[in-house]
Each structure stands twice: as C-alpha cells, then as structure tokens.
Structure 1
Amino acid sequence: MFDSGVNDGGGRGKAIANLLARNGILIAFVVFMIGFTLANERFISLDNVMGVVRSSAILGVIALGVTFVVISGNLDLSVGSMMSFSAIVVLDLHDKIGPAFAIPVMFAMTMALGALIGFLVGYLKLNSLIVTLGMLSAIHGLTLTYSGGKNMDIADKEGTWFAVFGQGHVLGIPVPVIMFGVLAAFLAVLLARTAFGRQVYAVGGNGVAATFSGIPRARVVFLSYVISSFCVAMAGLLQASRSMGSQNTVGQGLELDVLAAVILGGASLLGGSGTIFKTVIGVLILGFIQNGLLLVGLQFYVQYVVTWVIITLTVWLDVAAKRGRLWSQIA
C-alpha cells in the first residue's frame, strides 16, 4: 500500500496511488482511445485500428521478448541493430539459397547473437547495460560488414512466396497481426503458467534469494536473451517481407521505442514485475499515440514529447510502488 506523504486524506491517496500502480496502463489506454476518438471519428474506424495494429506488430514482437529480459532484471539495447542484421541476412540469403532455407539460417544466426549476450550477462555476470550497449555497435558493424555497406533487395519480388509474412492476409486479418497475437499468447502462457516463467520473476525480484533457493539464475538470464533474440528474428522476417528489401540501418533507434513500450506495460526496470498482456497494451498505446496525433493534425515529432511525459509518469508510479509512497521522504 502507498503512503501519499500527507496526513490529511492519506487513506484516499493510498487507494488512488494503488489503483494507478496496478491499472494505470489500462486507464491511460482507455483515456487515449476516448480522447482521440472525440477529436477525430476516423480514429476508431476498423480500417484505422487494424492499420495501427499492423504497423505496431514489428515493434510489438520485439517488445514481447524484451519483456522477459526486463522482468529478469536486465536490459537489452541491442535489439534494434539485431533486427537490422536479421532483415539484411534473410534478404541476402533469399536470393542465394531460397526462402525455405534462408529463414531458419537467419533465425539461427540471430539467436546465436542472443546466446552470446546471454552468456556474457548470465554466466559471466557482466552488466547488461554495458554489454548490450557494446553489442549495439558491434552488431551494427557486423551488419555493415556482411552487406558491404549496401542495402538489400529481393531480385524477383513477384516470383516468391516470401511476401506472405509481411503482406499476406488470413480471413481478412493481416499476417503480421496474427503472428504478433499468436506469439503474445504463447509467451504469455510461458511466463505466467510455467516453472520457467516463475523463475524469471524470482531472478528479477531477488537474484541472490533465487540462487539460494536453487534456481539456476545464470541459465534463466541466458534463456531470456535467447527468447528475446528469437523475437527479434521474427521481427526481422516481418520487416524484410513487408518491404521485400531493407536498409542496413532499418532498426536503428528501435531499442528505445521497444523499451518505452515495455515500461509503459508496467514492467519494472528494477526487475521482478510485468506481464505480456500489459506489454501488448504498451505497444498499442505507442502506436495509437502516433496515429492519433497525426489524425488531429499535429506533426509526428510531437509524439516524442508525449511519449516522454507518459514514460516519466509511468516510471514515477513504478518507483512509488516500490517505496510505498508517491513522494520521496527526502523531498
């Protein structure tokens, strides 16, 4: 429970703060949806909603994997560069060995990078911020080296089934939306209903206690990064398939949006809390903010200011939840 920091009306302050800490992301989502709908009736149309979800699928798929990393008490700032690598590799191999072989090879190469990060952070106990920040640059250099500094395009865009992942539809629903939904459902069950999921929460909540409880902390962290890299590979597949080509910097800066979505979803930077469902909500909030601001006539860069305000508020509530009061005693 919260202590609002004042004696008068303290009980009400506790109740409000507790409500915001537990359900603030859902409240914010509803408020944004109502506000933008009142500002522009096209905002809530089926075509617009489906378009936003489809455009958010790539960000969302990556955010699902990063949720595991953050809950385990770590960070992953390499996902943007890793997605660029995945897209470039699968496009290059598409013309050389065909999509049926290019896709699994790309997944294996990307997950090998994730395994390397997991080994450094999990088994060697290196700081995740430093490791992944360094890997951001290293993987970017690897991508440029692999591509020779050139962008990649599929030579025969009309004669391949590869486009189905990014451009296809099933019963009128875009394939990227289906892949995002199916992956979210699977990872939600993995995180909430399995022993491994409980271990992720335990390691992030108190790593020392988890170790003394017999939980293989290093392995849990390692597997969290492998899961994250798998999601990045899927995002790279969606990106490459959607445009049938890619710049070698297509994922640059994406790691910040991903982290914003995960934080908005309620995952604590201190580790030990968060859910897949709320991460999905966080992804959709970012997507609808961008879309809503454009529909009401504001420039796209306004979204950065709005996102900053929302993230700051979310982090404040998260810290308040940890210390049990909205305002710091020192202040």
Structure 2
Amino acid sequence: MAELTKKGIGGFLARQGILVAFVIFMVGFALANQRFLAMDNIFGVIRSSAILGVMALGVTFVVIGGNLDLSVGSMMSFSTIVVLDLHDKIGPTLAIPAMFGLTLLLGAFIGFLVGYLKLNSLIVTLGMLSAIHGLTLTWSGGKNMDIADKQGTWFSIFGQGDIVGIPMPIIIFGLLALVLGLILSKTPFGRKIYAVGGNGQAATFSGIPRARVVFFTYLVSAFCVATAGLLQASRSLGSQNTVGQGYELEVLAMVILGGASLLGGSGTILKTLIGVLIFGFIENGLLLVGLEFYVQDIVVWAVIILAVWLDIAAKRGRLWSPIA
C-alpha cells in the first residue's frame, strides 16, 4: 500500500509537477511583493510574454510533429529587421506582406530539409540559426534599424495599440492561439501531426504524407515567427539586429513546460499557453523580489532541466528510474 501511494505521488508529480512548482512560485512571489497580483502587473506580464508566446505557438506544432526548431530566434531578428527596413523604402502596406513572404520562404526551406530530405531537425535548425543570423547582418549591413518618421506611421498599432483597453499584442496572441488550437485539435491536419510525431513509421504505413506534414509544421512556425517580428518591430519602431538572440531556448522551454513532449506526439496549444504564463510570471516575480535580470539566465537553465526531467518522468510514470 505504501509502495502504491509512493508511486501514485511520484506519477502525479511527474505529470503535474511543473504546475505544482508554479503554484508555489506564485504564492511565494505574492507574499514577497503585493504588486505581483495587481491587475496592471498581470496585464504587463501577459503583454511582455506575447511575442515569445506567439513564437511558442508555432514551435508547438513542430515539437508535436517530433522535431525541433532552434532557428526561431534568429528568424525573428530577420523578420524584425526586414519589416523595419522595408517600412521606409516601400511603406508598411507592402512591407508587412513582403516580410511574411520572406520569412515563410525560410520556413519552407527548413521544412524541405527536415521533411523531404529527412535531415535531423536539431542539426538543420542549429545550422540555420547561424545562417539566418548572417543573413540578417548582411541585410542590415551590420547596423540596427529605426523607422524615420515614428510619429506619422500607423505601423505602431500592432505593438502599441489597444482595443477597449486590451493591448493589441494580447489580442493578436489570443486570436492566433484560438485559431491554431482549433486547427491542432479539430482538423485532419492536426490529427496527422500527432500521428507523425507519435510514430512516424506507422503514420507513413497508414497513408499519411509524413514529409508534407512536417513541411507544413515548419511553415506554421515561420508564420508565427513573422507575427512575432511584426509585434516586436511595431512596439519599438526600431530594433537591434540581434533582438531575437537566445529566444529559441526560452520558446522551447515554454513549450516543454506546457507539457509537449520532446519525443513528439503530445501537447496542446492550451498547455503551451500555460507554459508561456508560467515562464512570464516566474521572470516577473524574480524581478519584483529584487533579483537582478541576469539571475533569469540561471532560472531558464533550471526550468529547462526540470521540464525535460518531468517530460521523461511522465513517459515512464515515475520521477526516477531504479535502473542506472
């Protein structure tokens, strides 16, 4: 009976441990600083998390499909720089679709390499991380980008505007999450992604076009990255050419925190939203209690390790294995 109870507790923590840790963090931060649960702070956290959250939505598709995408940070830098540069050259009306088109081309290239040529997604996207960073520096000439007329452009509406008091980044994040959540849970394409990620060989034998499914997951990811780049550029109306550097690990941590398995075949958009909020509130809480921003890097590392451990533990039903 004691052994059964022990396994039950271990199994529960393996499945829901990150949520338990989140509740403990929330209670601790609320006790340490009264501003933590204030509505303006909550809105501020969600708004600041929206850009990474949008990227996490796309990466969720890739991870459920059994692959990784470590290029999203450099791709987001590329999208931001491109739309800012084209804004002054051809105007925002043409700059936005042009930026989306170029970003989707990068996603299509990655999807082709991973899906149709069946190259390892870790190696491909790690290589593309450096390649796209070089492309961004080439496009910008190594310089940062700024919009010349910041007062006379409607472009700022995406990052700075609001509807009935709700910031536009939160609205865009929410609408995109709703649409992608419905696609993933209610359409044949969504079911095919789960099948490919769960058992790619079995999916192929069942007649599912595995290569095409993987290809389109990277297109979804690229679309989300382009949206994040639009939000970033619109919010600041200027950007460094390394604005997305390091985001790939944070985005992946959010997705894994939400319950998506690195082994593929499991995860939901709703759980990714939870992972985004967990990450955002933990970072905010650390700042409110007076810890320096660089402490967040240590927390990111610890959270990634914890998330991967709980992911593996959930698969085997216990926190640790008696087999060395």
- Specify every segment of 5 or more residues in structure 1 that has no aligned partner in the other structure, as ranges: 1-7
- Kindly provide the amino acid, as one letter, of the partner of residue 265 in structure 2: G
What is the Cα deviation at residue 34 of structure 1? Answer: 1.8
Name the SS of the counterpart of 2:86 in structure 1. Answer: helix
What residue is the counterpart of 2:284 in the other structure?
A: 291
- Kindly provide the amino acid, as one letter, of the partner of residue 327 in structure 1: W
The equivalences for 1:37-48 within 5 A come to: 37-48=30-41
What residue is the counterpart of 2:125 in the other structure?
A: 132
What residue is the counterpart of 1:19 in the other structure?
A: 12
What residue is the counterpart of 1:3 in the other structure?
A: none
Distance in 1 of aligned mates of 2:245 and 2:79:
13
What is the Cα deviation at residue 327 of structure 1? Answer: 2.1
Q: Check if 1:152 corresponds to 2:145.
A: yes
Deviation sequence 1:145-174 (CA, Å, 0-9, x none) = 111111111111111100000100111111
- Kindly provide the amino acid, as one letter, of the partner of residue 36 in structure 2: F
What residue is the counterpart of 1:189 in the other structure?
A: 182
What residue is the counterpart of 2:158 in the other structure?
A: 165
- Kindly provide the amino acid, as one letter, of the partner of residue 135 in structure 2: L
Distance in 2 of aligned mates of 1:301 and 1:314:
20
Q: Check if 1:55 corresponds to 2:48.
A: yes
What residue is the counterpart of 1:204 in the other structure?
A: 197
Q: Check if 1:247 corresponds to 2:206.
A: no
- Kindly provide the amino acid, as one letter, of the partner of residue 38 in structure 1: L
Name the SS of the counterpart of 2:154 in structure 1. Answer: coil
- Kindly provide the amino acid, as one letter, of the partner of residue 244 in structure 1: L
- Kindly provide the amino acid, as one letter, of the partner of residue 91 in structure 1: L
Q: Check if 1:104 corresponds to 2:97.
A: yes
Name the SS of the counterpart of 2:12 in structure 1. Answer: helix
What is the Cα deviation at residue 58 of structure 1? Answer: 0.5
Distance in 1 of aligned mates of 2:6 and 2:205:
38
Distance in 2 of aligned mates of 1:309 and 1:124:
35
Distance in 2 of aligned mates of 1:307 and 1:84:
21
Identical amino acids, percent of aligned pairs: 76
Corresponding pairs, count: 324
What residue is the counterpart of 2:219 in the other structure?
A: 226
- Asked if the contact 2:256/2:311 (under 8 Å) is kept, the reply is no
Distance in 2 of aligned mates of 1:169 and 1:325:
46
- Specify every segment of 5 or more residues in structure 2 that has no aligned partner in the other structure, as ranges: none
What residue is the counterpart of 2:265 in the other structure?
A: 272
For residue 298 of structure 2, the aligned residue among 292, 298, 305 is 305
Name the SS of the counterpart of 1:163 in structure 2. Answer: helix
- Kindly provide the amino acid, as one letter, of the partner of residue 189 in structure 1: L
For residue 68 of structure 2, the aligned residue among 67, 75, 78 is 75
- Kindly provide the amino acid, as one letter, of the partner of residue 217 in structure 1: R
What is the Cα deviation at residue 318 of structure 1? Answer: 1.4
- Kindly provide the amino acid, as one letter, of the partner of residue 111 in structure 2: G
- Asked if the contact 1:29/1:281 (under 8 Å) is kept, the reply is no
Q: Check if 1:261 corresponds to 2:251.
A: no
- Kindly provide the amino acid, as one letter, of the partner of residue 125 in structure 1: K
- Asked if the contact 2:287/2:293 (under 8 Å) is kept, the reply is yes
Distance in 2 of aligned mates of 1:192 and 1:102:
33
Q: Report the RMSD for the aligned CA atoms in angstroms.
A: 1.3
- Kindly provide the amino acid, as one letter, of the partner of residue 204 in structure 2: T
Distance in 1 of aligned mates of 2:247 and 2:203:
32
